[in-house]
Structure 1
Amino acid sequence: MTRRIALFTATRAEYGLLRPVARALAAQDGTAPLWLVGGAHLSVTLGGTVSEIEADGEPVAARLQDTAPADDTPAAVARAAARTGAAVAEALVRLAPDALVVLGDRTELLGAATAAVCLGVPLVHLEGGHVTEGAIDDRIRHAVSKLADLHFTARPAYADRLLQLGEPADRVFVVGSTGVDDLRAAGPTDLAAASAALDWPLNPGVVLVAWHPETLSGRDAGADVRAVLAGVLAAAGERRLVLTGPNADVGREAVQAELERVAAAHPDRVRLYASLGRARWGKVLGAADALVGNSSAGVIEAPALGVPSVNAGDRQAGRLRLPGVIDCDVTAEGVAAALRQALDPAFRAGLSPDPLADGQAAKRIAATLATVDFGALARKPFVDRP
Structure 2
Amino acid sequence: MNKRKICVVVASRANYGRVKYLMKAVKEHPQLELQLIVGASTLLYRFGEAVNIIREDGFEPDRKLYYIVEGETLSTQAKSTGLGIVELSTAFEDLNPDIVVTVADRFETMSTAIAATYMNITLAHLQGGEVSGNIDEKVRHAITKLSDIHFPASEKSKQRIIKMGEDASRVFNYGCPAMDILKNEELVISNEKMAVYGGTGKPIDWTKPYILVVQHPVTTSYGQGYEQVMETLSALNRFKAYQKVVLWPNIDAGTDDVSKGIRIFREMNRNEPFHYFRNFSPEDYGRVLNNAVCCVGNSSSFIREGCFLGVPAVIIGDRQESREQGQNVIVTGYSRKDISDSIETHLNNGRYPRNTLFGGGDAGKQIADKLATIECFKKKRITY
TM-score, normalising length from structure 2? 0.93
Residues 218 and 263 of structure 1, relative CA distance in 2, 3 Å threshold? closer
How far apart, CA to CA, are the structure 1 residues paired with 2:358 and 2:11? 27
CA shift, 1:381, in A, is 1.6
CA shift, 1:357, in A, is 2.9
How far apart, CA to CA, are the structure 1 residues paired with 2:230 and 2:328? 24
8 Å CA contact 2:332, 2:342 repeated in 1 = yes
Q: Does 1:41 align with 2:45?
A: no
Partner in structure 1 of residue 262 of structure 2? 259
CA shift, 1:46, in A, is 3.0
How far apart, CA to CA, are the structure 2 residues paired with 1:17 and 1:195? 21
How far apart, CA to CA, are the structure 2 residues paired with 1:120 and 1:308? 44
CA shift, 1:28, in A, is 1.7
Q: Does 1:249 align with 2:252?
A: yes
How far apart, CA to CA, are the structure 2 residues paired with 1:50 and 1:267? 33
Secondary structure of the structure 1 residue equivalent to 2:88 = helix
What is the identity, as a one-letter code, of the residue corresponding to 1:245? W
CA shift, 1:278, in A, is 1.4
In structure 2, which of residues 214, 217, 222 is the aligned counterpart of residue 213 of structure 1?
Answer: 217
Aligned counterparts, 1:176-325, within 5 A: 176-190=175-189, 200-218=204-222, 220-235=224-239, 237-264=240-267, 265-266=269-270, 269-325=273-329
**Mean alpha-carbon deviation: is it higher for 43-52 or for 218-227?**
43-52
How far apart, CA to CA, are the structure 2 residues paired with 1:356 and 1:215? 25
Partner in structure 1 of residue 97 of structure 2? 97
8 Å CA contact 1:194, 1:284 repeated in 2 = no
CA shift, 1:122, in A, is 0.4
CA shift, 1:31, in A, is 1.1
Residues 370 and 102 of structure 1, relative CA distance in 2, 3 Å threshold? same
What is the identity, as a one-letter code, of the residue corresponding to 1:309? A
Partner in structure 2 of residue 114 of structure 1? 114
How far apart, CA to CA, are the structure 1 residues paired with 2:179 and 2:255? 26
Partner in structure 2 of residue 85 of structure 1? 85
Per-residue deviation, residues 59-107 of structure 1 (Å, max 9, x unmatched): 2011112x11311111111111111001110011101111100000001
Q: CA RMSD in A?
A: 1.8
How far apart, CA to CA, are the structure 1 residues paired with 2:291 and 2:94? 44
Secondary structure of the structure 1 residue equivalent to 2:46 = coil
CA shift, 1:352, in A, is 2.8
CA shift, 1:131, in A, is 1.0
Partner in structure 1 of residue 371 of structure 2? 369
Q: How many residues align?
A: 377
What is the identity, as a one-letter code, of the residue corresponding to 2:316? A
Partner in structure 2 of residue 23 of structure 1? 24
Secondary structure of the structure 1 residue equivalent to 2:330 = strand
How far apart, CA to CA, are the structure 1 residues paired with 2:193 and 2:238? 23
Residues 321 and 353 of structure 1, relative CA distance in 2, 3 Å threshold? closer
CA shift, 1:354, in A, is 2.6
What is the identity, as a one-letter code, of the residue corresponding to 2:175? G
Aligned counterparts, 1:6-17, within 5 A: 6-17=7-18
Residues 69 and 275 of structure 1, relative CA distance in 2, 3 Å threshold? farther
Residues 211 and 356 of structure 1, relative CA distance in 2, 3 Å threshold? closer
How far apart, CA to CA, are the structure 2 residues paired with 1:176 and 1:340? 31
CA shift, 1:241, in A, is 1.0
CA shift, 1:188, in A, is 4.0
How far apart, CA to CA, are the structure 1 residues paired with 2:108 and 2:182? 26
Partner in structure 1 of residue 129 of structure 2? 129
> Which ranges of structure 2 fall in alignment gaps of 5 or more residues?
199-203
Partner in structure 1 of residue 61 of structure 2? 60
8 Å CA contact 2:74, 2:219 repeated in 1 = no
8 Å CA contact 2:12, 2:40 repeated in 1 = yes
CA shift, 1:349, in A, is 4.8
Residues 244 and 165 of structure 1, relative CA distance in 2, 3 Å threshold? same
Partner in structure 2 of residue 358 of structure 1? 360
How far apart, CA to CA, are the structure 2 residues paired with 1:191 and 1:45? 25
> Which ranges of structure 1 fall in alignment gaps of 5 or more residues?
none
CA shift, 1:267, in A, is 5.5
How far apart, CA to CA, are the structure 2 residues paired with 1:91 and 1:172? 27
CA shift, 1:197, in A, is 6.4
8 Å CA contact 2:174, 2:359 repeated in 1 = no
Residues 279 and 84 of structure 1, relative CA distance in 2, 3 Å threshold? same
Secondary structure of the structure 2 residue equivalent to 1:311 = strand
Q: Percent same amino acid among aligned pairs?
A: 28
CA shift, 1:287, in A, is 0.8
Partner in structure 2 of residue 326 of structure 1? 330
**Mean alpha-carbon deviation: is it higher for 149-158 or for 226-235?**
226-235
Partner in structure 2 of residue 166 of structure 1? 165
8 Å CA contact 1:132, 1:316 repeated in 2 = yes
Per-residue deviation, residues 166-204 of structure 1 (Å, max 9, x unmatched): 101001001111122112111342466765665741343
